[in-house]
Amino acid sequence: MFLRLGFEGYRRVQAESQDVARFLADEIAKIPAFTLWSDGSDIPVFAWRMTPGHTKNWTLYHLQNRLRIHGWQVPAYPLPDNMADQTVQRIVVRNGMNRSLARALIDDIKKEVDFLDSLDAPIPHAKDISAFAH
């Protein structure tokens, strides 16, 4: 892409991606279920975790699966061994992700969080809750 667009074109694409990442991070930070882990201010990638004590009925893995129903790939990952009790979800904003798509993603996240928060009991856990796989 760099060769095709040149330095200035590549910079413009990356700046737009970072702008969308910051928009998404700001919107996710407004959802009480989540606490930002990073905010996309360095590169167009950011992550969040569940706000401690928000719920015991669902996890980020459940949200990952609910978003997949809408066609979104928003993976949840456990952190490395020394922090393996923490799970984060992340978004990598790439060329082509614009504000319109970002707004649609936020709407789907809010809709699924509302659904998951409305559950009266925990979602039964399968033996293995798998992390995102490519």
Query: 51: domain range?
Result: 2-117
Alpha helices in 30-97 (DSSP H): 60-69
In a domain, 80, yes or no: yes
pLDDT of 100-117, one tens digit each? 999 999 999 999 999 999
Of the listed ranges 11-15, 35-39, 83-87, the one predicted with least confidence: 11-15
In a domain, 129, yes or no: no
The pTM is what?
0.86
**Phi and psi at residue 63, in whole multiples of 5°?**
-65, -40
In a domain, 92, yes or no: yes
Q: Where does the pLDDT of residue 80 fall: very low under 50, low under 70, confident under 90, or very high at 90 and above?
A: confident
Token pair of 76, please? Answer: 């949840």
Q: Per the structure, how many domains does the chain have?
A: 1
pLDDT of 24-43, one tens digit each? 999 999 999 999 999 999 99
**Whether 25 contacts 106, CB under 8 Å:** no
Q: Output the DSSP codes for 15-51.
A: HHHHHHHHHHHHHHHTSTTEEES--SSSSSEEEEEEP
Distance separating the N- and C-terminal Cα atoms of the chain: 23
Of 72, 91, 74, 97, nearest to 13 by C-alpha is 97
Mean pLDDT, the chain, whole residue set: 89
pLDDT for residue 82: 84
CATH number of the domain that 19 lies in? 3.90.1150.160
